[in-house]
Structure 1
Amino acid sequence: MDRPQHDPVLLDRVVALLRPALDRDGAVLVDATLGLGGHTEAVLASCSLARVVGIDRDPRALDLARERLAPHGDRFAGVHAVYDEIPDVLADLGLDAVDGVLFDLGVSSMQLDVADRGFAYAVDAPLDMRMDGGPDDHRPTAADVLNTYSAAELTRVLRDYGEEKFARKIAAAVVRRREQEPFTTSARLVELLYDEIPAPARRTGGHPAKRTFQALRMEVNDELAVLRRAVPAAIDAISVGGRVVVESYHSLEDRLVKQAFTAATRSEVPPDLPFVPEGSEPALRLVTRGAEKADAAETAANPRAASVRLRAVERVRPRPDARTDSRTGAAS
C-alpha cells in the first residue's frame, strides 16, 4: 500500500496562531486530531520549547504519525483516544493544564486515501467508515446504518449531516433496494445516488455522493456529539495565555465551535452597565475575527481547503479551579 499523503490546511496560519501560546519552556500542545501529524510536525519545528500530545482514534494513523515524528524524540507523545477524552488523557499524563489545543475536524486524508476504509466514493470498498475500525470496535458501520435505519431516520441523517436536498428521495430508494439485497460496498450506494439525484443537480456542487458519504461518516462516528463535549473540555484545559484553535469543514461543526467560543468570551455583566467591574471580565477572548478561510491559491492547490473555517480563542483570566503553575508561579 502506498503511504497516505496529507496536505495540512492553513498550516502557516495555524502555527502562527499557536506560537504565542507555546513560546515558553515546557509548553504543551494537544493536537486533538493528530492524523498523519502534519500540523504537529510544523509546530515542533517552529516552536522549539514546546512538546505535543497527539490524540487520534485511528490506530493506523497513530502508528504512521509516531514514525513520522520519531526524530523529535520525547517532545512528542501519541495517545489512542477520541478527542472528547481530553480530560482523561491529561489526567493520565499528570497534566493540570496545557498551553494549546488544536482541532482539525472531519475525515483525514489518510482515511480518504486508503481504499479499504470505505470513506471514499471513488473506489468500491466495504461500507465501514468507523474512524477506529479495529477488531475491538463493535460500533455500527455505515452499512449497518443503511440497512437498519428507517426511511425517516435516514432522511434526518442525510439532511442534517450531509445538507442533501434529495435526502427523502435517497432514503426511500435505499429502503427499497435493501429489501432486494443489503448494502455492503460503496459502489452500489454510488450507483443508487447517480440514479436518484437529478442530472442537473449532479452537474453542480461536486461529486453527487459527497454529501451522503459525509453524512454517513458523521453518523457512524457520532462526530457532532463528540465535538459538543470536546470544545468546552479544551477551553477548560488551557492555562492563561493558552489558545484553542479549530478548523471546521461543515456548517454544523462551525456553528458548534462558534457557539462555544461565544459563550466562553461573553461577559456576564448586564449590557446596560456603563463599565465592567474588575474580576467580571470574560475569561477568554476571541483571537480570530469571525471565521477565517483559505485563500484562492491554497484552495486551488488543495481542494480540501475550500470549506475550511478557522477560529481561535485565548484564555486571559485563570480558571476558577486553577492551581499555581510550578513553572511560572502563576495561576494556570
Structure 2
Amino acid sequence: PVSIRVLQFSSQAAAAASAAPGSHSPVLADAVAELLVGACQGTRRPGSRILLLDATFGAGGHTRRLLRAASEASTPITVYANDRDPAAYRLAGQLSESLPPGSDSATVVPLLGKFSQLAEHAELTGVEGIDGALFDLGLCSTQLDEARRGFALSADGPLDMRMGGPAEADSPTAADLVNGLEAGDLAALFRAYGEEPMARRLARAVVERRSGPRGPLRTTKQLADCLADAVGSARRKDSLGRSAHPATRVFQALRIAVNNEFIELLSGLQLARQLLKPGAPCLVLSFHSLEDRLVKRVFANRSLDDLCCPAAWADAFKRQRSPQSLHAEPPPPPPQLWQLVRFDSNRGEDYLMAGPAEVAENPRARSARLRVGLKL
C-alpha cells in the first residue's frame, strides 16, 4: 500500500481578496496558494522559478492568488493558464498583458483547449517538469451569469451548455440531447450523471413534451418548466439539505454529457501527471459527489470500473451482483501513480473544505472539496 503523507496545513479564508474585481470568487484560494507556492519554498533553490498549471483559468481568481503568493515570497513564477472557454482565454491574455513589462518575475501563458488537449500546446512542449497543477471543476460564476450559455436555471437562454460555446461546433448541445435521445437513454443519462432518483419519470416527461404540439425543447426555461411539472408538488433538496429546483440534477447531467466532463478529467489528470515533477502536487476542486468520487479513486490508485459511461455503469452494476462475479479472478491491482494527501487540519481526512467564514463570503464554496495527489 502507498504510504500517506500527512500535510500540516492552516489557513484563514480570504476568498474575496483573491477575486478578480467584480466577478467570480475563487474557492479555497489561500489553501491553493499555500499548497502550490508555499510548499515549494522549502524544496527549491532560492530564486528558482516555480512553474504551475492552472488547468481551469475561468475568471482568473486562483491564478491571481498564485501570483500574489509568489510576489510575497519574492519567487519568480510562470502560470500556464488553460481554459476551453474562449472568453476565459481572452481574460488570461488580458492578465498576461497587464503584468509589468520588461519583468520576468511573474508571467502568465494563456492556453486554449480541453484537458485532453494539454499535450498539444507548444508552450508546454519541452517544459522539463512543472511544480504543481490545479483543476477547479464545474462552472465559473461568470458562465452562470450569461443566459446565452444555457447553464443557468435562473435565466432563460438557449439549451447550449457547451463550455467552449459555438467554438465547439462539433459537440452536441443540450438541446440535441433532450430532443434526440430515446426515453431510456435519457433516463440512464439523468441517473448516471445527475444521480436523479426520478430519472424515468423525467425522461418520459421530456419525450412527451417534445413530441407534443409545442415541439422540441429549445430553451432552459422550457426544459426547467417541463421537469418542474413532472415532479409536481414534491419538494427537492440538494445534498446539503437546501431547497433545490426540480431540474437541478438534470441540468448537471446534461452539462456533464455535453462536455464529456469525466473523460476529459481523466485525460487531464493523466496528462498533468506526465508534466509534473516527481513528488509535485496536483490539486482538484470538485463540487459534487460524482466528480469527487472519481478524483479520489484516481489519487488512491483504485480501479475506475467504467464510471464514465451510463450504459457501462448499468452493466458493471449487474456484473457486480451476478453469481459468476463471486468466483471470478480478482483484477490486477492498478499501478501506483499517485499518493493521496491527508490533512491534519481536517482530522486526518483526505480533503479540505471551506470554513464558515469563506462560506459566508462565498456560498458556492459550501459544497467544494479540495483533494491533492502527489505524483509518484
Is the aligned partner of 1:12 residue 2:66? no
Pairing partner for 2:227 from 193, 201, 206: 193
Distance change in 2, residues 1:283/1:171 (3 Å): closer
Aligned-residue sequence identity (percent) comes to 41
- State the partner residue of 2:146: 114
Provide the rounded CA distance (Å) in 1 between the counterparts of 2:87 and 2:354: 28
Q: Which runs of 5+ in 1 are unaligned?
A: 265-281, 318-332
Equivalent pair of 1:4/1:109 in contact (CA under 8 Å): no
State the shift of 1:14 in Å.
Answer: 1.0
Aligned to 2:216: 182
User: 1: CA distance between counterparts of 2:40 and 2:115?
Assistant: 20
1:67 aligns with 2:85: no
Partner of 2:280, secondary structure, is strand
Give 1:275's aligned residue.
none
Alignment deviations for residues 113-168 of structure 1 (CA, whole Å, 9 cap, x no partner)? 11111110111100000011134522110000000011111111111111111111
- TM-score, normalised with respect to structure 1: 0.83
Q: Which residue of 1 aligns with 2:293?
A: 255
Contact residue 300 and residue 338 of structure 2 kept, 8 A: no
Letter in 1 for 2:201: K
* Cα-Cα RMSD: 2.2
How far the C-alpha of 1:91 sits from its partner, in A, is: 6.8
Distance 1:284 1:141 in 2: 35
**Aligned-pair distance for 1:283?**
6.4
Match of 1:276 in 2: none
Are 1:313 and 2:373 an aligned pair?
yes
The answer to whether the 8 A contact 1:130-1:217 is kept is yes
Q: Deviations over 1:77-98 (max 9, x none)?
A: 1011111222333675421321
CA distance in 2, matches of 1:284, 1:140: 34
- Alignment of 1:286 onto 2:313: no
Q: Post-superposition shift, 1:303?
A: 2.0
Which residue of structure 1 aligns with residue 317 of structure 2? Answer: none
Letter in 2 for 1:7: S
Which one of 41, 50, 57 corresponds to residue 27 of structure 1? 50
Q: 1:284 to 1:142 in 2, by over 3 A?
A: closer
Say whether the 8 Å CA contact 1:21–1:241 is kept in structure 2: no
Change (3 A) 1:239 1:170: same
**TM-score in terms of structure 2 length:** 0.74
| Partner secondary structure for residue 159 of structure 1 | helix
Amino acid at match of 2:143: Q
Letter in 1 for 2:340: L
* Cα shift readout 1:7-51 (whole Å, capped 9, x = no counterpart): 101111111111145444222101001111110011011113211
- Structure 2 CA distance, aligned partners of 1:308 and 1:225? 21
Deviations 1:188-213 (A, max 9, x none): 11111221124232465422222111
Paired amino acid for 1:187: K
Q: Give the CA deviation at 1:103.
A: 0.2
